[in-house]
A = this chain, B = another copy of it.
């Protein structure tokens, strides 16, 4: 055990300006690890410096990657970009102040009290995480709600939770491209609900989107309350510290200056080329060590703090969408990535930590340790609080995993406040960037997501053709597939018909063999 103390002291990586430490001592890399990886890390530092200076860091999409400028506009590569960022921030501050003071208000109520965020992926995961991590019902200026899918039942549930409150609900529609179908569908359902309540949607809506996008044009032509810019050089999964995250947070009453300051401080600490003192670099190297640079192990994220329960969902996107790539920068097939999952400790100790301790060794844990317990300081046992238990469970589990040859890295923060949340986001953003260079991939595009949208559009097109082919006389899926010009897609046609039948748009006479099941127009 004396060895663990020595190794802890040698490897501990501190950011005094944030009170944040990263402890990689329970990863079993060898003494020469930092030396062996020094040249690769040098490349990663250089790539990151180029990126921060405005290089085309996303070559496939020929885009700059500028999320680091958002919290330090003076670093923007041109005065125009700097002033874009500063104007956008000012717009957010003044709009949210106007809403809080009741100067910006809905037509039929004295003020906005509810915020409805409509967005998906990068337009929802960050806002959801921050709203939960930093919100407090008693203190929040406004209540926040989310529509983050195209499930009509799920949308109804959110809207019915706003029942009676729509007159005082501000809707934020967020889509960088302005063409995300889920977001558009959510918006259409929300607008219908406003109309059904006798309200004008445009008087309750703001858009966050790129200038000139379809969403932007819609908002302009309908006269929405306000339009906030998204920038070409900010990707969805790194947009939490752009308007995407800052506008809902500011409206909720969250300290957005703290978020930005924390991220900026973390960026400063993680620009250092002194790897051992750079927590983002150490984190990227920890991933390299744990996964063999090939995603061989899953990243289990275990914050011991309820407020951080959504951090792993947020990191799922940041890490997996950035690193999960088929091709490397040279166009070679690599099938890269690291799977991420987790919820919170000690809750998860009563769920899957059994497997982590005893079962298949296909993961490493990222513990997030929050020093201040918070809450009521009640003695549970003499001298012991519920917070001591929480902390004790973390240390006990870390120890037990290590004893059974399971690796972990521990990030310690003083508390969960805006500065710390900003810093955690920035820490993982930069670690992802470093790691992408280490394994030679583009972290900033998402070709599979685009392909997914296309695949779904084809399915919907086929659905329309199948609907058209339905008639009064019973036909099998095979018949209908032929009629719809999709004789090679019988299974797909059958599945579409099953869905249509369940929703009253086809009648189905079910047989044991799906090939004999017939369908008619209802």
Interface residue ranges, A against B (CB under 8 Å): 1-2, 4-5, 8-9, 12, 120-122, 124-125, 136-138, 148-157, 160-161, 163, 180-182, 184-186, 188-189, 192, 236, 294-295, 298, 304-307, 313, 316-317, 320-321, 323-326, 335-341, 343-363, 371-378, 380-381, 383-393, 395-397, 399-400, 412, 414-416, 446-449, 451-452, 454-460, 463-464, 467, 488-492, 494-496, 498-499, 501-503, 513-515
Q: Please pick, from B295, B372, B377, the residue contacting A359 in the complex, using a CB distance under 8 A.
A: B295
Q: Known: A306-B154, A347-B121, A489-B1. Contact between A448 and B375, CB under 8 A?
A: no
Q: Is the CB of A355 within 8 A of B306?
A: no
CB neighbours of A323 from chain B (8 A): 355, 359
Q: Is the CB of A306 within 8 A of B151?
A: yes
CB neighbours of A358 from chain B (8 A): 324-326, 335, 337, 447-448
Q: Is the CB of B449 within 8 A of A349?
A: yes
In Å, the complex CA distance between A192 and B385 comes to 13
Q: Is the CB of B189 within 8 A of A386?
A: yes
Q: Please pick, from B185, B361, B362, B467, the residue contacting A389 in the complex, using a CB distance under 8 A.
A: B185
CB neighbours of A385 from chain B (8 A): 152, 503
In Å, the complex CA distance between A320 and B358 comes to 10
Q: Please pick, from B138, B449, B501, the residue contacting A163 in the complex, using a CB distance under 8 A.
A: B138
Q: Please pick, from B350, B360, B492, the residue contacting A336 in the complex, using a CB distance under 8 A.
A: B360
Q: Which of A192, A346, A380, A501 has the most CB of B within 10 A?
A: A346
Q: Please pick, from B161, B192, B459, B491, the residue contacting A396 in the complex, using a CB distance under 8 A.
A: B459
Q: Known: A448-B357, A460-B388. Contact between A351 and B455, CB under 8 A?
A: no
Q: Please pick, from B150, B321, B338, the residue contacting A386 in the complex, using a CB distance under 8 A.
A: B150
Pick 8 A–B contacts, CB within 8 A, sort by A. A136-B160, A138-B160, A149-B390, A152-B375, A236-B350, A393-B456, A399-B492, A400-B451
CB neighbours of A324 from chain B (8 A): 352, 354-360
Q: Which of A378, A388, A451, A496 has the most CB of B within 10 A?
A: A388
Q: Known: A8-B514, A396-B459, A448-B354. Contact between A360 and B375, CB under 8 A?
A: no
Q: Which of A186, A306, A335, A489 has the most CB of B within 10 A?
A: A306
- In angstroms, how far is the closest chain B Cβ from the Cβ of A131? 13
Q: Is the CB of B156 within 8 A of A351?
A: no
Q: Please pick, from B336, B375, B412, B513, the residue contacting A154 in the complex, using a CB distance under 8 A.
A: B375
In Å, the complex CA distance between A189 and B376 comes to 8
In Å, the complex CA distance between A245 and B90 comes to 50
Q: Is the CB of A392 within 8 A of B463?
A: yes
Q: Known: A151-B386, A339-B298. Contact between A396 and B458, CB under 8 A?
A: yes
Q: Please pick, from B189, B313, B397, B449, the residue contacting A343 in the complex, using a CB distance under 8 A.
A: B313
CB neighbours of A321 from chain B (8 A): 351-352, 354-355
In Å, the complex CA distance between A236 and B488 comes to 48
In Å, the complex CA distance between A381 and B179 comes to 14
Q: Is the CB of A149 within 8 A of B346?
A: yes
CB neighbours of A12 from chain B (8 A): 514
Q: Is the CB of B460 within 8 A of A351?
A: no
Q: Please pick, from B148, B346, B448, B488, the residue contacting A150 in the complex, using a CB distance under 8 A.
A: B346
Q: Is the CB of A380 within 8 A of B184?
A: yes
In Å, the complex CA distance between A305 and B515 comes to 27
Closest B residue by C-beta to A488? B1
Q: Please pick, from B326, B349, B359, the residue contacting A337 in the complex, using a CB distance under 8 A.
A: B359
- In angstroms, how far is the closest chain B Cβ from the Cβ of A306? 3
Q: Is the CB of A136 within 8 A of B152?
A: no
